[in-house]
């Protein structure tokens, strides 16, 4: 029975990883798509066409299937194995499932942005998308700390750490942007 559960867990982890890879990369492609919309013709049209193809493939070939398979194996582990029933009794698992729900919301919002950009509707700036990309990182940190520490409280330290780290990255980004703008002048 342990081998059966461990096989399910391995498959779940593989698809969680590829799901996050898809989420990280799709938002990065959104940044490039938004920046391409600001280019002059014909560069704009050439880049937009290419980025639409790339985002379509990333979204429907990697991200969506990974989300579905990660969820499938998670539900299988939780509801059809004895080990899963034990996990459902633990408070840290309830917090983890809350974060998974937030991840589904994040995924849904990414889908909405994907559809808008596929229709040439640019509603967000590239800087907004760079910040948006940190959302998946924060969820990932919180879930990993929860699963490793199996404590419903200690995950807070990991999330605070990643928020501070993200803030430093954003400050570095702003500093780099100022240098880049100064050099272009």
Binding residues: 12, 96
Contacts of residue 23, defined as CB under 8 A and 6 or more positions apart, other chains included, come to 63, 106, 107, 110, 136
- The Cα-based distances of 179 to 52, 112, 128, 171, 185 in angstroms read 30, 33, 19, 12, 10
- The Cα-based distances of 62 to 65, 156, 178 in angstroms read 6, 30, 35
Query: Side-chain half-sphere of 130: how many Cα atoms within 13 Å?
Result: 14
Task: Could you list the residues known to form a binding site for heme, using ranges.
Answer: 12, 96
């Amino acid at each position: 029975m342990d081998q059966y559960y461990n096989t399910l867990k391995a498959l779940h982890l593989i698809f969680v990883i590829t799901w996050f890879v898809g989420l990280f990369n799709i938002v990065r492609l959104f940044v490039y798509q938004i920046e391409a919309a600001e280019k002059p013709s014909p560069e704009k049209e050439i880049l937009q066409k290419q980025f639409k193809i790339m985002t379509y493939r990333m979204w429907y070939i990697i991200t969506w299937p990974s989300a579905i398979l990660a969820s499938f194996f998670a539900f299988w582990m939780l509801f059809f194995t004895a080990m899963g029933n034990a996990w459902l009794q633990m408070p840290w698992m309830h917090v983890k499932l809350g974060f998974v729900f937030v991840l589904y919301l994040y995924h849904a919002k990414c889908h909405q942005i994907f559809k808008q950009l596929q229709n040439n509707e640019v509603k967000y700036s590239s800087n907004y998308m760079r910040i948006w990309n940190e959302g998946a990182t924060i969820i990932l940190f919180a879930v990993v700390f929860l699963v490793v520490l199996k404590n419903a409280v200690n995950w807070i330290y990991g999330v605070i750490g990643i928020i501070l780290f993200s803030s430093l990255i954003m400050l570095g980004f702003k500093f780099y942007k100022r240098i880049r703008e100064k050099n272009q002048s």
